[in-house]
Copies of this chain bind each other. A is one copy, B any other.
Amino acid sequence: MFRGRTRRESVGDAASPPPYTASEAGAPGIETKKKKKKNTRKVFFGRIIHSKSLKEVEILHRASLGIDDKGTILFVDSSVASAAEACAKHAGFAHAETVTLGPMQFLFPGLIDTHMHAPQYPNMALGMEGDLKEWCENWTDPMEASYADTAKAHRVYREMVQRELENGSTTVAYNSSIHPDATNVLADTCLEFGQRAVIGKLCILVGSTHGNWEASAAQSLADEAKVVRHIRQIDPAGELVMPCIQPRAGSYVPPELMAGLGELYSRESNSGANNPVRVQAHMCETPLEVANMHALHAGFESYADMYDHYGLFGPRTILAHCIHLTERDMQVMAARKVGVAHNANSNTCLTDGWCRVRELLDRGIKVGLGTDCSAGYSISILNSMRQASNVSRHLTIHTGDPGWKLGFDELVYLATMGGAEVCALDHKVGNFQVGKAFDALLVDVGLDDNINTNGFEHDDMALLKKWVFMGDDRSIRKVFVGGRLVAGKDLKGVTKGVSLP
């Protein structure tokens, strides 16, 4: 059973961000139940855009989409001419609520952020002078260590989750800090605000600074198990929040702890619980980090072999970065069906290197996009799409081979379906397939922002491209997760201009 609450439906002073105060942190939302009507089936009618495959964005210029009262998509129908006609045609939708989109609006799948460091959120845009090592020592470690104060998690995560949703990230794979209590606050917050999330507690024993490590392997394992238990308690079926095991990286987790985490993953995977556990870790971000891993874990042929040896590689494993991969790494990754979180923005900011996305895709390795804040400076997956495009072009500049360039349809796929695959949620979200949950954005490119649509009002693909490259959260009027309205400018009540019916 899903036991979350909706976030508050309106905000008194929308211009003021929620303050980081303890009193705010406990402010209750409004129960969903009182909003429920007899029949909450809904039919949307208008422009519907999503990925059919890595190479094909499907644009239905005038189509209808129907969801049941649990937010499951029951039909996508491009043969009807209105919402009313769709309601009449599809059994059980006679009394459904209808939403007819305006001429500059479209439905788009919720964006999926496959890698985001929740505790680093306050540091965003700061400290980009050095490389990964300097970044960790000067910015990441002290900031993450500060979440020993659980009240800080309450203060920060409420604002962060709200901003993530407003930016259209309906699913996020979060890294947390080493603190189980702060991590549980993150899980509670995602559930309360209605965001789909993969969450674990970071495990660190060595290689960190500013006290940002755990007392022992036993402590680390017990704390991770505590987080898994908590998440399964608040969301037993994993409708929204899913637990994961988080070895920070091979260079931070010595063999005894890595072995313990592998055992924990295996045990929790086979526990019969409905909410299956995932793995999220970093891999091959910089040559130095790779060397440090090999120094700590002697004798492995590759970084991938190390994780695989400890039983942490499988179709529910999310690996951030994967830049400095060897041939062997990629073979093991493909064989185990792990997924890659590509963080183009942070990889550039920290001069980590270029992830070879084209090669990963060609080898059948799953790839999604991540923001990796705060090494990346934007929480928007739209920005991740632009930066992924840019990094692919830098590979073309570097090699002279235009084959590295990611096409627009591929960027759309990576931001939605690719992310769903990486999070092992492609059976549930990522596009508008019948039977999936309605995780969706109602985008409006006719509002007061930087998007210039004049002359392209009837060109569906141009409207989509203009939103992806020029747009931001201002264009996102409604954000749905599992059919529930959880964010968007309409919810905030600050949008001017065309109103939805």
Contacts and interface: CB of A to CB of B under 8 A. Distances in A.
What are the 9 A-B residue pairs with the smallest beta carbon separation, nearest first? A15-B497, A125-B469, A15-B496, A377-B469, A15-B448, A125-B466, A20-B454, A351-B396, A125-B465
A484 interface: no
B124 A466 contact: yes
A139 B396 CA distance: 21
Interface stretch (A110-118, A203-211, A265-273, A397-405): A397-405
A291 interface: no
A122 B454 contact: yes
A473 B454 contact: no
Given A450-B163, A496-B13, A397 B469 contact: no
Contacts of A498: 15
19 contacts: A124-B470, A125-B466, A125-B469, A129-B408, A156-B454, A167-B450, A348-B397, A349-B393, A351-B393, A351-B396, A351-B402, A351-B405, A352-B397, A353-B397, A354-B397, A377-B469, A394-B394, A450-B473, A472-B472
A161 to B, nearest CB: 12
A501 interface: no
A412 interface: no
Copies of this subunit: 2
Given A13-B497, A454-B19, A455-B20, A470 B125 contact: yes
A104 B125 CA distance: 16
Given A19-B454, A121-B452, A494-B496, 16 more contacts: A13-B496, A14-B496, A15-B447, A15-B496, A17-B453, A122-B456, A125-B462, A129-B408, A348-B393, A349-B393, A351-B393, A351-B396, A354-B397, A377-B386, A387-B390, A474-B474
Contacts of A416: none
Contacts of A497: 13, 15-16
A125 B473 contact: no
A266 to B, nearest CB: 38
A379 interface: yes
Interface string A337-354: 000000000001101111
A381 B14 CA distance: 27
A167 B468 CA distance: 18
A20 B457 CA distance: 12
Given A125-B469, A377-B470, A497-B16, A159 B393 contact: no
Nearest to A14: B448
A407 interface: yes
A28 to B, nearest CB: 21
A380 interface: yes
A378 interface: yes
Nearest to A130: B402
A390 B15 CA distance: 31
A378 B471 CA distance: 10
A396 B351 CA distance: 7
Nearest to A125: B469
Given A398-B398, A469-B377, A452 B351 contact: no
Contacts of A13: 496-497
Given A348-B394, A393-B351, A472-B472, A452 B126 contact: no
A261 B129 CA distance: 44
A145 to B, nearest CB: 15
A248 to B, nearest CB: 23
A465 B126 contact: yes
A361 to B, nearest CB: 18
Given A354-B397, A390-B390, A396-B351, A450 B472 contact: yes
Contacts of A454: 17, 19-20, 122, 155-156, 159
A390 B348 contact: yes
B452 A163 contact: yes
A390 B351 CA distance: 9
Interface string A449-490: 010111110000010011011101110000000000000000
B124 A452 contact: yes
A122 B466 CA distance: 10
Contact of A378 (B397, B408, B450, B465): B450
Contact of A407 (B20, B129, B469): B129
Interface in A109-155: 121-122, 124-126, 128-129, 131, 155
Most buried by B among A128, A160, A387, A408: A128
A472 B160 CA distance: 18
Contact of A351 (B397, B466, B469): B397
Contacts of A124: 452, 466, 469-470
A452 B354 contact: no
